[in-house]
Chain A
Amino acid sequence: MNIYQILVTLSFGDAVSNDCLAIHKLLTDNGYNTSIYAYNIHEKMKLPYVKHFNKLPSIKANDVIIYHLSTGTEINRMLRNMPGHKIVRYHNMTPAHFFAGYNGITARLCGEGKNETLLLKDTFEAGINDSDFNTEQLISYGYTCPMETVPILIPFGDYEKEPDMELVKKLDDGVKNVLFVGRIAPNKKQEDLISMAYAYNRIFEDKIRVILAGSATGTERYLDRLKKYAEALEVSNVVFTGQIPFKDILAYYTAADAFVCMSEHEGFCVPLAEAMKFETPIIAFDSCAVPETLGGTGILLEDKNPYRAAAALHVVLNDKETAHKIVEAQNERLKNFSYERVSVQMLDAIKKFTKEGAAK
């Protein structure tokens, strides 16, 4: 029997694609016949085991499909009639309203995706979702199949690579670096970080640099509005990096003094785990899967008041002992996301849902 992982887009560097690739490696290392099928394949992802969805062979009754559900697509409609044992890996879907006015296509896909997720409720034999938040959402949609939570499989070994040292040196100029990593996207609420920077500049004398690291492809209107907002507030200490190579991301994490997340929609939020890896204290708005990923660590903000966020940031940036305590707790939490631990969980779940080892 074969295990087919199916997803719409196998991109370069996003959480769903990385999770899919890590699962592929895990399955291959454990002797499974497996391959990945996607509609859109990034140039860098054109690998021997990655094929176009149109080339999906005829699925046999004992084959397994692991379907990464994260957006609206015609695959969602086709999947219902496919044979084989179907397992959903739900990464959640950004509510469409966030993209209204910024990107019509994305808004439409998100809206359709939700309806399609509802229609798929009786399609899967099991679910291996990356957070309880996601699992609970599927249950609320009427999913009754057995489901487990297995966090996103993050190959943390990649983060041991050498960062761009020139950039690290450049960022080491006495200004404290406040980082957020993630696509420039309306649901991630980067405007709240700009408001926070404004409040910080007003009430504190020490200087901070707010780094918004992430691509704005498809959300150019939102980026344009963010830049105009920063300009209108006369906040000049916000840096938009755009799409950057991995070594630059490593450099920003290495140089970061705090990680601040104001996102209002996340199904897991990998950058939180990345910040933990780099021992960066986290401040985050209490929303969606964020508190679950933090698991009681970091500083959770109950509201979006920019002054309160700025003041909490000031405490974390200026009290080494407090920052150390936060990082210590984060280090403990990070153990739950270790590649080794999640690999075992993932393999156990796959074996369980594919009738114990029959997959090989």
Chain B
Amino acid sequence: MSGRRGPQAEGSRPDAGAGVAGDPGDRGSPDPSGAVRVVAWVFRLLRVLLPARLRRRHGPEMDAMLVAVLEDARRRGGPLGLLDAVGREAADLVGTAVRTRVTGVPPVPRLAGVAGAAGLAIALALLTEGRAPPEPVVRFDAHDPAGTFTLVLRDGRVVEATLDGAPVPARRVLQRGDSVTLVGAEGRPGVRLRLERPATIHWEARPAPR
């Protein structure tokens, strides 16, 4: 038996939803935002810094991974989360370019041109992103045969949770993407669930304790 629940609402039948874990090509996630698309396009340009063989062989895979990572960061952290991810990916790209190109560093003017275009596009993307309304705080009150639990989400992240009325400390809230596990204390049953935007959760209903 599974559960599916919107915030403070009665449940309905679950749906299958997810694809192969870990493969952005199969995740069935919605289209990336305009900001993510722009940033991904800029990164496609910046990849000229990487060896041609690496680009040719893995370009489409790198594109798919980058879009998935940026979109995830945007959903979790909003514009600042996206900015943080862009910064980390840019630093990683430049660092990788330096490591993989011991010789043949691109000429400075070419590098400056690409960097200037990148800065402009990222700024435009962030301005666009900044106008998007923030995701609201969502509260779930749910129950199954094993007991009750609550979740409070802010921007897609669990910021508060209880199991059978007891607060769950942050170290026992494990979240990876849309998968959340509330670890039960000392033999008490926990719960594993999946978030679905805008405001639905799915979980395998736990059996009643003996």
- B and A form one assembly: no
B residues with a Cβ closer than 8 A to A are none
